[in-house]
Amino acid sequence: MKSNGLFCVLLLALASVQVEGKCSRLPSGNCWVNCLQEIFDVICNRVTPEMVRMDVSVFADTTQQLRLYIWSSPLITRLSADVFSSVASQILTVDLQDVVNLEAFPELHLLPKLRRFNIWNSPKLCTLSLELLPASLFRLSINKICVNHFENDFSDVKALPNLQEFVLRNVTIKGWQGSFLKVFPNLTLFEISNSTFDFAAPVSGMTRVESIKKLKLFQNTVAENTTDGSMQFFGSLISSLKVVSGADVDISMNNLEIFDRATDNLNFAFRMAKRLNVRGNPIRARSEKLSTMFQGFLWLEELDMGLMDLHAVQGMFGGLPSLKSLKLDHNNLVDISQVDIFENAQFTNLSYLDLSYNGIKHFSTNDTYVQIAPQVLYLNLAGNSLNIFLPAADKRSEIQRTAISSFRSLKTLILADNGISLFSGRHLANLTKLTELDLSCNAFKKLTNEAFIGLSRRLEDIDLSMCIHPPHPPPWIEWDAFTTLPQNLKRLRLKSGAYKKWIFGVLKLSGVVLIRLEELYLDDNDITFLLNDTIPLMANLRTLSLSRNALQSISPGMFQGVPNLKTLKLNDNRIGTVGVNSFSSRLNRQLVWLQELDLSGNGLYAIERGTFDQLTFLRSLMIGRNPMEIQDVFVDGGRMLEYLGIEGYNRSCLKPEFFQPLKMLRWIFPDEYNLILANPDDRLRKADKHLESLLRVCEIGPDVPDHDLYPNIPTLKNYVSVTIHDTDEGEGVQYPMIEAWLPLNYCPLDDYVTKLSNIICTKASVMRKRTD
């Protein structure tokens, strides 16, 4: 294995840890460790308390700090203090996931440096023993346990002074001591989410908390038989919380009906907020209350009031001087043309406005709209019934076009799903700064070259996806329809239009328009085959997506019209085999600059040896969800390959010979959620947008990460990693350094560390405590 500067530094860091063997599996065989970080992550899977005790003792008599993750371990019913005693002062995090038979609250009070304790899916744990938590604790996250009464007698635990983040998820709350939150005097983040309130009677004497920077009370429900008491508790809880200046507040999707009194409570509690999300809570307050609901919100920059059964009220958003983003989608603002919701508006920086799915037929032309319109850069009008493209003789449509034209600074306009049957770019001619236009999912019957005349010359992205599927027929597109598209167009989306391959004939006649086109998306179009001359010459095209069509084969020369292509997506077609002439060969030079290729989900049963060898610059190859063997796909190629998707592959483990030509290989995707990292190096410190586009993190998982080791790759903070293989297993064979990366938000309940380790044809060494 080649060394580099960063790896040498990491090895020096290991020198202080008195352990023998490779940096990999711990003595029990069920715990794994990543020693390539300043703080070691230890992941234990299907363990007993004795296994944990034995494995963490490897680090006794050292100063090594640890984050301990105990996952999928049904044999654990309790975790007493002696389990952690050998490294008590070294543990910073304890994370329990799917310890389904845990019955007693873990004894963590003797861990003096513990900062985070997270527990998820221990349905037999029915007591919250705060006295077993150390004073050092910063974050307590409880998820899916059977505790339903939250109380503290303040005899043993008067306060946890360092605890700033308290999270409750997926619990049923039946009891709440009014003074309970006194135990957290410095609380800055408070969350109750995905939970059920079941209160037969209201709670009195609620402790007032005025230190909240982030409040998250979202996606909760109330028990049917205690609706009144539960609603009263929720209201009392909100009334007891007052956020600090610049706070982030999310009380969305609770189906909490907001009456007159609730508007007063919200105003008092949240007027200092910077971001406020009240989506999904029906508004029932009177109009006069709504008109003053946001008075005093001087610092509010982002407001989400979507899905609230909201009706237009005169001046309801007029008193928000700092407002930058306003989401009002999925409401009942159908009369917005008659009611001036922005009357007396004070804001000057409103750049994002979402009015989608409101049944709007006419757009307002009053003075207030004319005043705010030039500020807006993003305008979403999807899912309405706007008739702004009717013939010019229609006076009402002319008024609407005048209103739209007042948004003269607009860069993004979304008019999707408006039932538009006729379109004329001339009606948007005044939007000279427009760069993105979404006309997808409309009812176009016909598109001619008249349709796009007048559109902004700056337009770079246009979406004409039709959202129809066979047997429904596509709209008629004249052969010369695209000749009038803006000549600076870079991205053209023509998805789900049932176009089949004749759409390429229209593109072929588009002439100069195709010169600058960089991205073309033709997914879901029932394209069954392509001839060598089907794809027209598009010399500047960098991305071609043909996903989810019905292609059965790839013929030599099929892509000769796109000589500079870098990304080709052919996933989820019906391609059975690919050979050495399918993409590029010595006799058939095409796709010579290709960097990303996706063939996943095709039912591929054979890939000829060396098929990808002539794709010299190939960096990403996705071939998962196919039944074929992958061991010999590279013979003398793959030297630049960094990303390899093999989801669902189970034919055999990857042999050492597989890795030998892949000198740059970094990320292997063995299934939907996990990752394998080969050859960790300083590239982890650099931005990696392609990796982030490939990552999938389960949304129902336990907690947010407690560290961000790779800030330039933000999504990696959702993963923990362990070393599963080292460079040489004593058989004279050179292996790359291999790590398993597991998402913190994990869904499948499986012995996943062992499963991942078996992907490589070797066994990991066992770390042992040094005895000399």
Instruction: Write the pLDDT tens digit of every residue in 111-149.
Output: 999 999 999 999 999 999 999 999 999 999 999 999 999
Q: What is the pLDDT of residue 671?
A: 82
By mean pLDDT, which of 146-150, 151-155, 605-609, 612-616 is the weakest? 151-155
Q: What is the pLDDT of residue 19?
A: 43
Per-residue model confidence as pLDDT tens digits over 298-312: 999 999 999 999 999
Decide if pLDDT at 181 tops 90.
yes
Give the 3-state secondary structure of 684-724.
Answer: HHCCCHHHHHHCCCCCCCCCCCCCCCCCCCHHHHHEEEEEE
Q: Kindly provide the b/e burial profile for residues 709-721, where b requires at least 16 CB atoms within 10 angstroms of the residue's own CB.
A: bbeebebbbbbbb
What is d(CA 288, CA 298) in angstroms, rounded to the nearest whole number?
20
Decide if pLDDT at 769 tops 70.
no
Q: What is the pLDDT of residue 750?
A: 59
Q: Which two tokens stand for residue 641?
A: 């390959």
What is d(CA 753, CA 762) in angstroms, rounded to the nearest whole number?
14
697 confidence band (pLDDT: 50, 70, 90) = confident
What is d(CA 232, CA 253) in angstroms, rounded to the nearest whole number?
17
Per-residue model confidence as pLDDT tens digits over 625-679: 999 988 888 888 999 999 999 998 888 888 878 888 888 999 999 887 788 888 7
Per-residue model confidence as pLDDT tens digits over 368-412: 777 889 999 999 999 999 877 766 556 666 666 777 888 999 999
Q: How do 768-769 and 19-20 pair as beta strands?
A: antiparallel
CA separation, residue 703 to residues 126, 133, 763 (Å): 20, 18, 31
535 confidence band (pLDDT: 50, 70, 90) = very high
Q: What is the pLDDT of residue 709?
A: 78
First to last CA, the chain: 29
Higher pLDDT, 772 or 274: 274
Decide if pLDDT at 732 tops 60.
no
What is d(CA 665, CA 671) in angstroms, rounded to the nearest whole number?
17
Higher pLDDT, 155 or 203: 203
Q: What is the pLDDT of residue 301?
A: 97
- Spatial contact of 480 and 427, defined as CB atoms under 8 Å apart: no
Average of pLDDT values for 413-428? Answer: 92
Per-residue model confidence as pLDDT tens digits over 452-478: 999 999 999 999 999 987 677 888 899
Q: What is the pTM of this model?
A: 0.90
Beta strands of 305-371 (E only): which ranges? 325-327, 352-354
719 confidence band (pLDDT: 50, 70, 90) = confident
Query: What are the domain boundaries of the chain?
Result: 1-147+697-749+757-772
Q: Which two tokens stand for residue 718?
A: 């959702």
If we measure between CA atoms, which residue out of 216, 263, 262 comes closest to residue 235?
A: 262
Decide if pLDDT at 5 tops 60.
no
Q: What is the pLDDT of residue 510?
A: 85
If we measure between CA atoms, which residue out of 451, 438, 530 comes closest to residue 485?
A: 451
Decide if pLDDT at 170 tops 60.
yes
559 confidence band (pLDDT: 50, 70, 90) = very high
Average of pLDDT values for 203-210? Answer: 93
Q: What is the pLDDT of residue 735?
A: 53
By mean pLDDT, which of 41-45, 178-182, 384-388 is the weakest? 384-388
What secondary structure does DSSP assign to 75-131, as a single string? Answer: T-S---GGGTGGGGGGEEEEEEES-TT--S----TT-TT--EEEEEEETT-----GG
DSSP structural state of residue 72:
S
